[in-house]
Structure 1
């Protein structure tokens, strides 16, 4: 009797222990049938899942393998999905001692046939860069969310201010009417950090939109509505690091899931070590494996499951949302060979897609190293099409703010553009006067409106894909360089607030809008060749965009007084007797010397 009771109690205990196990997370949460990337490693997380064995039976789906690391709370299950698999649920049974301990229904969805041919951003586009928390609050109900650490506080420069996805949706018509055709959004994924969480670069969940911005469904709706209006959405991604409070940081799958040091080690930011033939292994390791800041653990992409996780996450967001591009943060900091695999995987799945990378360096020798088609001495290649053109941005600002340099202050911009031979595809570079990490262009040029106009005219017409930061159209400018001030709230983006603009701000917005709307259907600007003329001592920079007989000539007069420009030297390349300035709408006789107004840009077609 006692033995029978003991066995019954033991059986009950075993049953309770088995049932105590649960699946807390499954990533990626689903996949699609008919994708090139059809071998998926599913990460299951829950208590002691590594002690279980997965089995399933579904036509067209094969169990390739399963594995675990030293942490028994993770089980990695690899499946292969054939093209003839039927959409629906894949029931994965997890066995222990020949009995089913747990089951999970894994969704395999039918693929949207339009996803394969997503058209990425290109030379026909003008990007509008938005920091979502600071742009517009379209839903005040999500300003504070239970369970998330940081609450809204608009009085704090580095705090959350309440901007969200609905606020962006509400402004899509405004963005389109300004002449923008794509929107690059700073990261929207969950950033559940205690402070300074609004910027989004400390991800705490790679598969979840931060609820203070909205939901995954709201993000997908934003992409759909924007697409209907002819606007592409570009997602900001970070493969280099996550947030210190990411859910896995309390229970890592393996010690080498992140790059760990005996004591905290910051990256040395020595971006040249990758190309430097004399750099030490220690310096290279510190650059790639050091943490960006103490709150951002450095991900170890040399761990095969981490590499797979990041690639699958990128493909999942493209397929789920239908975004048209990616801006990759801190591109040179992760393992460079992983980044090559990452770009190849994305471009194989989406051949017409585009990715722009951040390589913040003002020397084009360093920036050009990463672009697809670049012939590097060490043989390194990737499928990365586009990079942010920090060298040109830096040179143009120098030209606008410094005095005469060897005949003309425009020489900074002129000579930097002359180094385009270093790039495999300079037309695919993203050019910009400012972004979320630097003072706005109006502040950079000393809040001189005329110089700001010259910058806008330059970046809107030069080769490449222009990007402008939200609020630049209203001459927004910081005074301190503090990132919280640089990312100030967009005027009128909050309920009940009606901004009052000066006549100068209104005029500048129209100026920028005129150029961008004109640019929308100008193939000669989108894909035309570039010819520029060495600036002489009259401090006028002249360049030409052309396709066969379709030609536009841009004149940038930085002189503080009117100047006379003899057009004869340009008529060989612009053989017209008359042209129209698209800014002033005036017709200009090119047979006579041109009278250029002080500090004025001319775009003649």
Structure 2
């Protein structure tokens, strides 16, 4: 068969032949030269695949339990060049099938994928609720959820990728250097699909958010501004309407698969497949195997089947999917959802494979615990008693978040109040690299910080001022800058993820322009803007030494020091004037030096004392 004939037949097959091949393309030039293709097509298991392309060979072909799948192990050696080639499938008593596969050239080497770090400030967005840049994609024919209703907190509201692109200048101007968007992959569920965490195709952007080209445009536009794109990924589960749930490749592709299939036959899902949520079984020396499996093998919720990463094909599929998105989008990081729920051996393998290929990359993992011992367990290079090394750079610091809120809400005493903030930071001895932890005031799963702090504007400023000077990677949830609240129904997820005012045509309030905002909201917006933009260029905050003093008299003082730059954060709970004795901080050697209030611009010389005029936060710098 001539190459022209192959090409002609391939075009026809691409339209009407192989139903699915994943990953849909790959690249040459990786450190590892293997690739496993998932082929899904009716009765494809009887076919014999072959490849004729220089540098590419088939190592092994695996049949699945379902006759509609093949898994092909390819070797891609150093002689392989970028280009398209044919994969032929010879079938007995049937026409042969041919599909075209492409190997691309990589845009940059692995070492040039630079992740986020403590010099960054991350803006977290729930895309359906941020801004509707393209109303034409609000409702897509053929998808299961067809309603747009901004009055319904659990329905889709229409925000999309174009809405983020349209407001990149706003985000950059606030002082953020990275964006973490909640998942943008398709969630073709019947209801509650707006949040993005019930994927029904791991290689497809949800058309209600836009297209892959839109996502690439977002990444490119951010890169041109020097900003990093962080992708929210999920390896623990998929959505119940995922395309493979109607024909699972293996008998153990998902956890509790037999219970699921028996439930389908009987018309209901068995409650026994839900996880126990007892995450401490990951570290517990005394945990029974029963309890460990009850946590890691259970489904997160009944609408999210739990993926079985102990299946080697699932493990490979998931790792390749993450790498595909890193290369396709030129990512600046991954946020991994429900990090402690999958098999922890797999999570070490998954993160290790990514960090081996991209040594300067960053991954942040969600483990919702207020126990620093558990947080430290999940961080790379922590000396765990069981020998476990996670390969995870950045766990989320839920513990410090909890202590910040508790300390600001409590009355001051010897053992409560600002001392909680102090003790929270004092736990840094437990961490391998505390500066790599992700700290935050709130996120898409918890009440807004303004709500948590009982709608106290001053305390909210104190929380944010403190977070932005800590030896951490800070994340700020969209709307925090304008005091968004869920106080009417605290903790309601749909309300926590409310629409950002001004993101929809006709909104009476526009936070992007300031139109209609109350004075307190404008003031908070400006407060964060000044702090974030100072933070961008502050070596003291990025990598300076940290010194803090035990809170006294309702005042907590923390210093960040690097070379000639010293940043001072003062948190003051006193309502009346208070004369602060500065001689207590003599070891910092600031006496006689000029310091400037980053927010107000007020300058003075550091002497023996200073009068604090009102309750609140003060961030000072010696930097001119």
Q: What TM-score, normalized to structure 1? A: 0.95
Per-residue CA deviations over 1:282-308 (Å, capped at 9, x if unaligned) read 000010000110000000000000000
Equivalent-residue separation in structure 1 for 2:133 and 2:39 (angstroms): 36
1:21, CA displacement in angstroms? 9.3
Q: 1:598 to 1:297 in 2, by over 3 A?
A: same
Deviates more, 1:349-358 or 1:100-109: 100-109
Cα distance, 1:477–1:20 mapped onto 2, change above 3 Å: closer
CA RMSD of aligned residues (A): 1.6
Q: Aligned residue for 1:349? A: 357
- Corresponding residue to 1:584 among 582, 600, 617: 600
Of 193, 196, 207 in structure 2, the residue corresponding to residue 197 of structure 1 is 193
- Report the CA distance between 1:496 and its aligned residue: 2.8
Match of 2:387? 379
Distance 1:20 1:445 in 2: 57
Within-5 A mapping of 1:184-263: 184-260=180-256, 262=259, 263=270
Moved more, 254-263 or 456-465: 254-263
Q: Tell me the equivalent position of 1:562.
A: 577
Aligned with 1:487 (options 473, 490, 497)? 497
Q: May I ask how many residue pairs the two structures share in their alignment? A: 587
Question: 4+ residue runs of structure 1 moved beyond 6 angstroms?
Answer: 18-21
How far apart are the structure 2 equivalents of 1:381 and 1:528? 27
Could you give the per-residue CA deviations for residues 505-546 of structure 1, whole angstroms, max 9, x where no partner exists? 11111111111111110011011121111112x111111111
Cα offset, 1:562, TM superposition: 2.4
Q: Counterpart of 1:119?
A: 114
Contact 1:21 1:46 in 2 (8 A): no
After TM superposition, list the pairs within 5 Å mapping 1:17-36 onto structure 2: 22-36=17-31
**SS in structure 1 at match of 2:204:** strand
Q: Which residue of structure 2 aligns with residue 333 of structure 1?
A: 341
TM-score, normalisation: structure 2:
0.92
Alpha carbons of structure 1 residues 21 and 497: separation in structure 2 relative to 1, 3 Å: closer
Q: 2: distance between equivalents of 1:225 and 1:20? A: 33
Contact kept in structure 2, 1:54 and 1:95, CA below 8 Å: yes
Gaps of 5+ in 1: 1-17
SS state at 1:80 partner: strand
Distance 1:495 1:390 in 2: 36
* Secondary structure, counterpart of 2:252 in structure 1: helix
Query: What CA distance in whole angstroms lies between the structure 2 residues aligned with 1:358 and 1:300?
Result: 19
Consecutive unaligned residues of structure 2, counting only runs of 5 or more, are 1-12, 260-269, 510-515
Q: Identify the residue that residue 265 of structure 2 maps to in structure 1.
A: none
Shift of 1:19: 13
Q: Please state how far the C-alpha of 1:550 moved relative to its aligned partner.
A: 2.5
Q: Call closer, same or farther: CA 1:20–1:535 in 2, change over 3 Å.
A: closer
- Distance apart, 1:203 and its partner CA: 0.4
* C-alpha displacement of 1:491: 0.8
Which aligned pairs between 1:41-440 and structure 2 lie closer than 5 A? 41-97=36-92, 101-113=96-108, 116-151=111-146, 152-260=148-256, 262=259, 263-264=270-271, 265-406=273-414, 409-440=417-448
When residues 19 and 90 of structure 1 are mapped into structure 2, their CA distance, relative to the original with a 3 A threshold, is closer
Per-residue CA distance 1:370-426 (angstroms, 9 max, x = gap): 111111111011211001100000000001101124255111111121111111110
Deviation at 1:549, TM superposition (A): 3.7
Please say which of residues 424-433 and 145-154 is displaced more in the overlay. Answer: 145-154
Give, in angstroms, the shift of residue 115 of structure 1.
5.5
Three-state SS of the structure 2 residue aligned to 1:568 is helix
